Amino acid sequence: MMPAPEAIDLLIEARWIAPVEPDCVLENHALAVRDGRILAILPASEARDRYQPGERVTLETHILIPGLVNLHTHAAMTLMRGLADDLPLMEWLQKHIWPVEAAQLSAQFVLDGTRLACAEMLRGGITCFNDMYFFPEAAATAATEFGMRAALGLTTLEFPTAYASDAEDYLHKGLAVREQWRDQPLISFCLAPHAPYTVSDASFERIAILAGQLGLPIHCHLHETRQEVDEARQRDGYSPLVRLHRLGLLGPAFIGVHGVHLNEAEIDLLTATGSHLAHCPTSNLKLASGFAPIAKMLRRDINIGLGTDSAASNNRLDLFGEMRLAALLAKGVSGDAAALPARQALRMATMGGATALGLGHDIGSLTPGKAADLCAVDLGSLECRPCFDPVSHLVHVAGREAVSHVWVAGKCCVDGKKLSLIAVKCLDSATTLWQNKLEVRQHI
């Protein structure tokens, strides 16, 4: 006598499943979800006999992958998308972004901007983002409204903003938010000193101590421009990376953002300390910052994740675009056509980011026991035919518009390309309001 089918919440049958770990592609398999976690991955024919799902989703032309992890962004800056294009980094920051923030930054700005970012990221298959901005409580509220996973940076600067007065104030307010939200399962935190050129040695030392005491990652811009590195060497006699190492920040909890201008010794230092890198190729190109030596870093076994940076410097929160560009640039810069193959690019966009955030035990791959953070991509269009390698198509053919379904912790957030939340209804009026305010500011 056959045993009765086991009750589960969700069964997804897909043409292909790419678990990332292990590195393979499974054909005509199914993924079982119970209580928000992956229960099993098995042939679809077996799954139909074994399980009685509360919901069954059949994806005949799709590949199912882990939810993408955006390892570096400033989510609320979606409200400044296209505000100051075609400028180098420091001019962009000092003459445009920082003045607008000085005039408009508020908790409501962050709430509305992060809501807009969450809607865009979820529709593009991103289920987790690592943020660095102000008013993290507003960002936590927005992410929670959309059912999204977020690692929120406790931003630290030496100069005042509408959020805080000095480094001590930034840290005090940020840690209070962490205490308030620490029991929310989809919300985690990072210490986020902005950059070596905006944070003092004393603040970095305090952050290093806090990171060790609280078990938090450190998320910091690093070696983004040649000017930044040259000025530091002239002033200190060594690079910003060496400075952070001397101050005790580098290590398995450290995420350096950009890493465009790194020499061989500095790449070796990242390897020796077990530090991670957030690679943001589109932003680096748009701001003319340069080409990060990704192929060299991968050969040294440095863990690399992908980030979009902000919509103000990208202008998309699109990890499909970042996967493709990262792969192409790695080949072009290194002169090696075998550099950064598609499966490695997918790993960077999933497990690479999860590992850097200290979340690799829970997300980043389709592994039984992990959270059911999932993304389904439709490869059935004419543009995706023929399909000899579905992972290659993910990186080099399909774009974020091919994402059809997204789940976070087993909850469907995007269904048939549509966000399934009421929260999006307020976005049209909010974005129009902020556009009018920022346009007036730009003409003052």
CB 291 within 8 A of CB 329: yes
The Cα–Cα gap between 148 and 150 comes to 6
- What is each CA distance from 138 to 155, 188, 390, in whole angstroms? 14, 14, 38
pLDDT digits (tens, 9 = 90+) for 31-77: 999 999 999 999 999 999 999 999 999 999 999 999 999 999 999 99
- Cis preceding linkage at 390, omega within 30: no
pLDDT tops 80 at residue 344 = yes
pLDDT tops 80 at residue 249 = yes
User: Rounded mean pLDDT of the chain?
Assistant: 95
Give me the sheet containing 218-222, strands edge to edge.
Answer: 68-73, 126-133, 149-156, 187-193, 218-222, 254-258, 276-279, 303-306
The confidence score (pLDDT) of residue 84 equals 85
Burial 343-368 (b: 16+ CB within 10 A, else e): bbbbbbbbbbbbbbbbbbebbbbbbe
By CB atoms closer than 10 A (0-12, 13-18, 19+), residue 422 is exposed
The confidence score (pLDDT) of residue 98 equals 86
**Cα dihedral 354, 356, 360, 366 sign:** positive
The confidence score (pLDDT) of residue 114 equals 97
The confidence score (pLDDT) of residue 426 equals 76
393: phi then psi, degrees, rounded to nearest 5: -65, -35
The confidence score (pLDDT) of residue 235 equals 96
The Cα–Cα gap between 440 and 424 comes to 25
Domains and CATH numbers, the chain: 6-66+372-409 (2.30.40.10), 68-356 (3.20.20.140)
pLDDT digits (tens, 9 = 90+) for 268-320: 999 999 999 999 999 999 999 999 999 999 999 999 999 999 999 999 999 99
Instruction: Tell me what the mean pLDDT of segment 191-214 comes to.
Output: 98
pLDDT band of residue 444 (cuts 50, 70, 90) is low
63: phi then psi, degrees, rounded to nearest 5: -115, 135
Angle at 78 between CA 72 and CA 79, to 5 degrees: 150
Angle at 422 between CA 416 and CA 425, to 5 degrees: 100
